[in-house]
């Protein structure tokens, strides 16, 4: 669905149409709102650049400043409507990249939490996992991003991996769903090939396998910062699950969490307290996904399918 957006910065009719259309197609509305926000950001950036200059020439006047301001605002609108600086894409990814019925009964809090998980950046060496804000939805996946497809495709692998740490498989899948938005935002190489990284584990100097560098949102002292970092890349989702199990088993800080793995709520709370994530609501977000009707329905279907095989 196309939305008539404001192509001229003084035209507010496009914004009025956007508000009306948002009730019909939130996916398209999110795309346009992200671009409008990027346009405002570019306007502020250009204004700051002008203010930081040494001053105008002898021919400058209030009138010339007025028209120059109009020009800058129109430039910002044009830039945002074309390639832009990438801010609109980041906003779309952070807000989910699409709000549709495929997420069933998930609440807005659950949905918005999926792609914007934060990870610690302490210990200097960067050995902790850091979830990426920048993902690629173009990578080829064996699922379409819906809870049913995601759980059905990964259930056998999750079941085998979860058994090694005494965690219910649906709990492990809930964490992967939070990290990747039900598989829609798995990190990818520049070639578009999937990294198969379902848990956002960062690649430190000890990691000898393949890597993928992406932009990531990290929190330092409660402040969100954008940076670029290397993350582990795998040849398959099986390797991602296996590495996650090995990662938590070998890391001393997560041993307390492992002793509570039979209780997913306690496990993820302990995992968060041990520094797995800086997001104070990380464990709650996983629990909401785990308790959601979408996950329960998908898990039950996967269990029944495994039983009949």
Domains, the chain, in order of start with CATH, read 13-91 (no CATH), 104-308 (1.10.530.10)
Per residue in 205-256, pLDDT tens?
888 999 999 887 776 776 777 778 899 999 999 999 999 999 999 999 999 9
Catalytic residue chosen out of the listed positions 243, 273, 293, 304? 243
Give the pLDDT score at 282. 86
Per residue in 71-126, pLDDT tens?
877 877 777 676 667 777 777 666 654 444 444 444 444 444 444 444 544 333 33
SS3 142: coil
More confident residue, 276 or 225: 276
SS3 229: strand
Per residue in 123-160, pLDDT tens?
333 333 334 433 443 344 567 778 999 999 999 999 99
Across 247-267, average pLDDT: 96
60 as an active site residue: the answer is: no
Q: DSSP states of 25-60 as a string?
A: -HHHHHHHHHHHHHHHHHHHHHHHHHHTSS---TT-
pLDDT over 70 percentage in the chain = 66
218 as an active site residue: the answer is: yes
HSE value, Cβ hemisphere, 13 Å, CA-based, for 133: 23
Catalytic residue chosen out of the listed positions 31, 110, 128, 218? 218
Q: How far apart are CA 42 and CA 36, in angstroms?
A: 10
Q: Is 109 exposed, middle or buried (0-12, 13-18, 19+ CB in 10 A)?
A: exposed
pLDDT confidence bin for 38, thresholds 50/70/90:
confident
Q: How far apart are CA 225 and CA 186, in angstroms?
A: 20
Tell me the average pLDDT of the chain: 76
Give the pLDDT score at 13. 56
pLDDT confidence bin for 297, thresholds 50/70/90:
very high
């Amino acid at each position: 669905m196309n939305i008539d957006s404001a192509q001229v910065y003084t035209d507010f009719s496009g914004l009025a149409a956007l508000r009306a259309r948002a009730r019909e197609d939130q996916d398209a509305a999110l795309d346009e709102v992200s671009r409008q926000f990027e346009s405002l950001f570019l306007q502020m950036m250009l204004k700051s650049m002008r203010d930081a200059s040494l001053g105008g020439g002898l021919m400058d006047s209030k009138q010339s400043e007025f028209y120059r301001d109009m020009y800058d605002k129109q430039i910002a609108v044009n830039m945002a409507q074309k390639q832009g600086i990438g801010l609109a894409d980041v906003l779309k990814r952070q807000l989910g990249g699409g709000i549709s019925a495929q997420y069933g009964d998930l609440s807005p809090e659950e949905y918005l939490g999926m792609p914007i998980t934060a990870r610690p950046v302490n210990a200097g060496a960067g050995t902790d996992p850091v979830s990426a804000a920048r993902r690629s939805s173009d990578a080829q996946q064996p699922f379409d991003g819906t809870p049913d497809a995601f759980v059905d495709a990964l259930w056998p692998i999750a079941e085998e991996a979860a058994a090694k740490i005494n965690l219910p498989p649906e709990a492990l899948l809930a964490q992967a769903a939070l990290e990747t938005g039900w598989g829609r935002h798995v990190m990818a190489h520049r070639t578009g090939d999937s990294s198969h990284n379902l848990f956002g584990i960062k690649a430190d100097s000890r990691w000898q396998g393949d890597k993928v560098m992406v932009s990531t949102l990290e929190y330092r002292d409660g402040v969100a910062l954008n940076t670029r970092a290397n993350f582990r890349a795998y040849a398959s989702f099986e390797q991602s699950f296996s590495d996650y199990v090995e990662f938590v088993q070998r890391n001393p800080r997560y041993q307390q969490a492992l002793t509570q793995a039979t209780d997913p709520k306690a496990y993820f709370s302990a995992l968060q307290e041990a520094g797995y994530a800086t997001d104070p609501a990380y464990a709650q977000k996983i629990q909401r996904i785990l308790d959601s009707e979408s996950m329960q329905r998908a898990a039950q279907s996967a269990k029944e399918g495994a039983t009949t095989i």
